[in-house]
Amino acid sequence: MPEGHSVHRIARQFALHFVGKKVAVSSPQGRFAGDASKIDGRLMTEAKAVGKQMFLEFDNGLWLRVHLGIYGAWDFAGDITADATTASAGGRMGQTNMKGTILDSRGEDSLHSIGAPRVTRLRMSEQEKIEPGYDTFPPDPIGAVRVRLLSEDTVADLRGPTACEVITPAEVQAAIDKLGPDPLIDPPKRGEERFVAAVLKKSTPIGLLLMDQSIVSGIGNVYRAELLFRARLDPHIPGKRLPEATVRALWKDWKKLLTIGVQTGQMLTMDGLGKKQYEAALANRDDRHWVYHRTGLPCRVCGTPIVMEMAAGRKLYYCPFDQTAPDQTAP
């Protein structure tokens, strides 16, 4: 479920609260027990995200590779500073807070404790939310926890990942080499050039290319639909038929949306709106996108009903009126 922005935020959580600490690694559920012993008790030395994958390095040179897939999630607890969560305060998390069950570890309502250093329990997947607290540290694992990473004052539980394995540096490099550029990882110029070159050589429709992690990293079904609408681009156009300028603009827009996503923890794709509409988008998840999940609803620009069609097993949403072939003669 998480697209690239979530994974970067999760990596940041590890960088802030685990890197530099000795980590006890276990597998309460059991399925990771063999690999857990390879890194159990080591110091975590680095945390980084590339696209939808995260890599955690330990001081014996081994890495933990995690891909959350469609249901994976991390639960953090302990000395997790409010830092990583404040940016979401206006959105989804605000709603959670308003249910009234959220207390930080000092027993104060999180909404009214700006600057408070701790929250009780933070779940990070495609959404982020604060969950009810616990009595003793570390808290008991909730559900089937594949991996538990426990430092002296923080804990992270992983459940439902598509991929979770301990690998060597060479294998990390191989995994990254299979991925297309990530705007937050690749050097700016080089990332754009890689993307443009890859797209312009493919006869595959751009709607599929944007979802191909070997072409560009981190885009999922929401960002795909929204990027194409923002570009007013027909998803069916083959990559090689697009003007180069259009492809460059797509890359720049992805970099922009990803940056916003990492900053806010939300997929804000209607950033050009006025203040009033923008706040409505923040408040209502159903009112947040141009075309995603809006089958049959009127296009926000022209009123034409939004179309949904299946493409490679995923739902593709677009406006059949506004999203057209780009003008080949444009500069």
Partner DNA sequence: CATCGATGTTGAG
Partner DNA sequence: TCAACCTCGATGG
Q: Active-site residues: which are they? A: 2-3, 52, 314
Q: Does 211 bind DNA (CB under 7 A)?
A: yes
Q: What whole-number distance in Å separates Cα of residue 10 and Cα of residue 261?
A: 12
Six token digits for residue 33: 């027990």
Q: What whole-number distance in Å separates Cα of residue 318 and Cα of residue 293?
A: 10
State the nearest-atom distance from the C-beta of 178 to DNA, in Å.
8
State the nearest-atom distance from the C-beta of 45 to DNA, in Å.
25
Binder to DNA among 25, 267, 299, 306 (CB under 7 A)?
Answer: 267
State the nearest-atom distance from the C-beta of 41 to DNA, in Å.
25
Q: What whole-number distance in Å separates Cα of residue 218 and Cα of residue 7?
A: 9
Q: Is the dihedral of CA 19, 3, 263, 175 positive or negative?
A: positive
Binder to DNA among 159, 255, 294, 300 (CB under 7 A)?
Answer: 159
Positions 44 through 63 that interact with DNA (CB under 7 A): 51-52
Residue matched to tokens 């926000």: 300
Binder to DNA among 67, 118, 202, 248 (CB under 7 A)?
Answer: 67
127 sits in which H/E element: none
Q: What whole-number distance in Å separates Cα of residue 217 and Cα of residue 207?
A: 14
Strands 44-50 and 121-124: unpaired
- Which amino acid makes up residue 171? E
Q: Does 213 bind DNA (CB under 7 A)?
A: yes
Using the contact rule CB under 7 A, the part of the chain among 40-48, 70-78, 184-192, 234-242 near DNA is: 70-78
- Closer CB to DNA, residue 126 or residue 234? 126
Using the contact rule CB under 7 A, the part of the chain among 39-47, 187-195, 220-228, 250-258 near DNA is: 220-228
How many residues line the site for DNA (CB under 7 A)? 33
Number of H helices, E strands in the chain: 10, 12
Binder to DNA among 10, 39, 56, 222 (CB under 7 A)?
Answer: 222
Q: Does 181 bind DNA (CB under 7 A)?
A: no
State the nearest-atom distance from the C-beta of 52 to DNA, in Å.
4
Q: Does 191 bind DNA (CB under 7 A)?
A: no
Query: What's CA 131's distance to the chain center, in Å?
Result: 19
State the nearest-atom distance from the C-beta of 43 to DNA, in Å.
28
- Strands, E assignment, the chain: 24-26, 44-50, 53-58, 63-67, 73-78, 121-124, 128-131, 147-150, 154-159, 163-167, 307-311, 314-318
Q: Are 145 and 157 in contact (CB under 8 A)?
A: yes
The residues binding DNA (CB under 7 A) are 1-3, 29, 31, 51-52, 67, 69-71, 73, 126-127, 142-144, 146, 159-160, 162-163, 211, 213, 220-222, 267, 285, 312-315
